[in-house]
Amino acid sequence: MSSDSLSPDQITALFEAARSGQVPEAAGTPRRQPRLRSVDFSRPTKFSSDHQRRIARALDTFCATAGTRLSAELRAPVEFETINTMQLTWSAAQALLPSHSIAVTLEADPIATRMVLMVESVFALAGIECLLGGSADRAPRERRFSEIDWALTRRLLTSLVSQLSAVWRDLGGVSFSLGEIESHTDSSAIASVSEPTFAAVIEARLNRRSSSISLLIPWQAIDPISDRVAGRDTTSGAEGIDTRMGRALAAAPITLRAEVAAVDLEIADILSLGPGSIVRLGGRAEAGISLFAENTRLGRAKPGVRGARRAVQILGAEGLD
C-alpha cells in the first residue's frame, strides 16, 4: 500500500466530517478570493459603446483613404493607423497630447459645432519637405514655423480634413472645414474642462517615420447628431424610406388658387357674352372666397392686400365636404 492511501479509519472519519459539513479543502487548490473592481468615477461615460464603435470604424476608413491620398500628393509612402481610443474629460485629453503639436479647429457644418485635430509638428515638417520636392528619408529638424511653413501646413491639413469630412458625412451627416491653425496651447474655448471627450490617437508613418495625430471630440460637438452617430436615427436607414419619400413629395410644386365663386355655363351662353354682360355667380360676398390646391378645396379665406400685393387670410376649413 502506498503512503498516499487512506486507512479504513481515516476513510470513516472523512465520511463523518462530510455529513457534518466539515470537509477540508484539498491541498494545492486554494479557494479564489472575491475580487473588487476599482471604478474611476472621474472618467466620463457619455459616449456609449455604439458611439465609440462607430466612430472608431469611421476612423479606420479615414486611415485607409487618407493614406492613399497623401502618398500620392507627397510622393512618399504614408500610412495611418488608429492605435488608441479613450473617453476622458476635455482637460485630461489635452494633457495627454504631445507638447510639439499643431492644433486645428474643425468647424462642423451644418450643426455649427467644433472639434480639434492635433498633428505632431514633426509630421507637418516632413510633409512640407515632400511638398517642396525634398525627401522624407531624414527626420526634419525642429524649427519655428515661418509664414511659408504655415501656408504649406494648411495645404497638408486640407487634404487630411477633406478625407475626415468624407467619412463623417456618412457617419453623422456633417462636413468639416478648417478653422484656426496654431501651435498647441490651451484650447479651453472649444469646451469646458469637464466636458466628456472622445479622444482617438492615430499613428502616422511617413516613409516609416512615426508620429501621432489625435482627434478630440467633445460631447457637445456631436450632441445634435448623437442618435445618428450611434446608428439609432431611423431616417438614415431602411425605416426612413417613407420619411424621405414624404420630403420629396413635399417639394413638388402645387398651384394654389383663390376662387370667389363658380358657375357652369353652356357653350352657347359663353359665346353670347359681350361687354356689359352680367354673370350671376350665386355666391355671397360675406362668405369669403375658397382656396383650392389644384382641384382640391382646402378651406375658406378672406380677400385683402399685403403691401402692394393681393393676399388672402385663411379663415378655416369648417363646413367643407
In a domain, 44, yes or no: no
pLDDT tens digits, residue range 77-113?
999 999 999 999 998 888 888 878 898 999 999 999 9
Q: Are 260 and 216 in a shared domain?
A: no
Residue 126, phi then psi, degrees to nearest 5: -65, -40
Vertex 313: Cα angle to 307 and 318 (nearest 5): 175
Residues of the chain with pLDDT under 50: 1-2, 29, 236-240, 319-321
Task: For residue 285, give the DSSP letter.
Answer: G
Query: Cα separation of 160 and 145, whole Å?
Result: 19
Per-residue confidence (pLDDT) for residue 239, from 0 to 100: 44
Per-residue confidence (pLDDT) for residue 72, from 0 to 100: 92
Say whether pTM exceeds 0.85: no
Range of the domain at 222: 49-236
Tell me, what amino acid is at 288? G
Q: Are 189 and 75 in a shared domain?
A: yes
Vertex 90: Cα angle to 86 and 92 (nearest 5): 70
In a domain, 24, yes or no: no
Q: Are 168 and 257 in a shared domain?
A: no
- Which of 105, 53, 73, 94 minimizes the C-alpha distance to 221? 105
Q: Are 307 and 230 in a shared domain?
A: no
